[in-house]
C-alpha cells in the first residue's frame, strides 16, 4: 500500500497539523516526502527511525513545531540536515521561506537532491558540503540544527552564516540546555528558550534562539 493511501497514518498527521495550527492539506506533500524517506531508507540508512508512524511524530511534527518561530524569515540554512530534518518539512509548510539544506554525507545529499526534485521544492537547495566550508558569510536570516551538536559547537562551525545584523541560531533541543547556554561563545547571547509541544510526543522539546550580541 502507498503511504498516501494509509488512512490511519494520514489521520494522525492531519490531527497533528491541526494541533500545530497548520493546514491539514499539507499532509499530501508531507506524506510524499515520508514515502521517499521510507523507500530510500531501506538501502541508504538515512534515519534510525524506521516505522512510518513514528516518523510522522518524531520527524514531521517535531520539525513543524518550529514553524511559528521561522515564519516571516526569508532565508534559513539547516545545518547537518541529514535526510532533510527539519529543513524539508519547513520548506513544505512555508513556501515563502528559502531553505538551504547543508549536509556533507554524499548519500544523504543525493537523497536530498532527489527529494527536492521530486517534491518540486522550488524554495529549497542542497549544499553538499562541510558546514564550516559553506562560503556564504552572513547570507541567512537564521541557521537551524537538530540533533547536530552543542550550541557552542554549532556556532563554531556555522556561526559565520547568519547575517551580521539580527542573524540567529534556532536550535531544536530536548531538555533546556542550560550548560550549553552558559558556554555560548563571545559575540552571541541567549534570546529565548521556548518549550515546544509536539503532538504525540511525550519527550521534552525546546527551541533555543541565540542572537548575535
Ligand X SMILES: C[S@@+](CC[C@H](N)C(=O)[O-])C[C@H]1O[C@@H](n2cnc3c(N)ncnc32)[C@H](O)[C@@H]1O
Q: How far is residue 182 from each of residues 12, 45, 54, 168, measured CA to CA in Å? A: 38, 35, 33, 17
CB of 164 to ligand X, least distance (A): 22
117 known ligand binder: no
- Which segment (2-10, 34-42, 93-101, 143-151) binds ligand X by CB under 6 A? 143-151
Provide the minimum distance between the beta carbon of 104 and ligand X in the complex, in angstroms, as a whole number: 4
Please check if 131 is assigned to a binding site: yes
User: What grid cell was written down for 7?
Assistant: 488512512
Minimum distance, C-beta of residue 178 to ligand X, in the bound complex (Å): 21
Region near ligand X per CB under 6 A, out of 16-24, 141-149, 161-169, 193-201: 141-149
Give, as ranges, the residues between 188 and 207 that touch ligand X (CB under 6 A): none
Q: State the binding string over 67-86 for ligand X (x if CB under 6 A, else -).
A: -------------xxx--x-
Rounded Cα distance between 194 and 43, Å, is: 37
Q: Is 146 annotated as a binding residue?
A: yes
Contact in structure between 172 and 62 (CB atoms under 8 Å): yes
Site string for ligand X, 89-128 (x = CB under 6 A): -------------xxxx--x--------------------
Q: Are strands 142-146 and 168-173 parallel, antiparallel or unpaired?
A: parallel
Q: Is 146 in the site for ligand X (CB under 6 A)?
A: yes
Does 189 carry a binding-site annotation?
Answer: no
Considering beta carbons, is residue 4 or 104 the nearer one to ligand X? 104
The strand order across the sheet containing 168-173 reads: 124-128, 98-103, 75-79, 142-146, 168-173, 206-212, 188-195
Q: Strands 75-79 and 142-146, how do they pair?
A: parallel
Tell me if residue 8 falls in helix, strand or coil: helix
Q: Mark residue 46 as left, alpha or beta (left: phi above 0; alpha: psi -120 to 50; beta: remaining).
A: alpha
Q: Binding-site residues, please?
A: 80, 85, 131-132, 146
Interface with ligand X by CB under 6 A: which residues? 80-82, 85, 102-105, 108, 130-131, 146-148, 157
Amino acid at each position: 500500500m502507498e503511504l498516501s493511501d494509509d488512512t490511519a497514518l494520514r489521520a494522525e498527521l492531519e490531527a497533528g497539523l491541526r494541533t500545530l495550527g497548520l493546514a491539514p492539506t499539507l499532509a499530501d506533500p508531507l506524506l510524499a516526502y515520508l514515502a521517499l524517506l521510507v523507500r530510500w531508507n531501506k538501502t541508504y540508512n538515512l534515519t534510525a527511525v524506521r516505522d512510518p508512524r513514528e516518523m510522522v511524530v518524531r520527524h514531521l511534527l517535531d520539525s513543524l513545531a518550529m514553524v511559528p518561530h521561522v515564519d516571516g524569515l526569508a532565508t534559513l540554512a539547516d545545518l547537518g540536515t541529514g535526510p532533510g530534518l527539519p529543513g524539508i518539512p519547513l520548506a513544505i509548510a512555508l513556501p515563502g521561506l528559502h531553505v538551504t539544506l547543508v549536509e556533507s554525507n554524499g548519500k544523504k545529499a543525493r537523497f536530498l537532491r532527489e527529494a527536492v526534485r521530486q517534491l518540486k521544492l522550488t524554495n529549497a537547495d542542497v549544499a553538499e558540503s562541510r558546514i564550516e566550508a559553506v562560503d556564504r558569510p552572513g547570507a541567512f536570516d537564521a541557521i537551524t540544527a537538530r540533533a547536530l551538536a552543542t550550541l557552542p559547537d554549532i556556532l563554531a562551525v556555522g556561526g559565520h552564516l547568519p547575517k551580521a545584523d539580527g542573524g540567529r541560531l534556532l536550535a531544536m533541543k530536548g531538555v533546556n540546555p542550560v550548560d550549553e547556554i552558559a558556554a555560548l561563545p563571545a559575540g552571541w547571547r541567549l534570546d529565548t528558550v521556548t518549550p515546544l509541544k509536539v503532538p504525540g510526543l511525550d519527550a521534552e522539546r525546546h527551541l533555543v534562539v541565540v542572537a548575535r550580541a
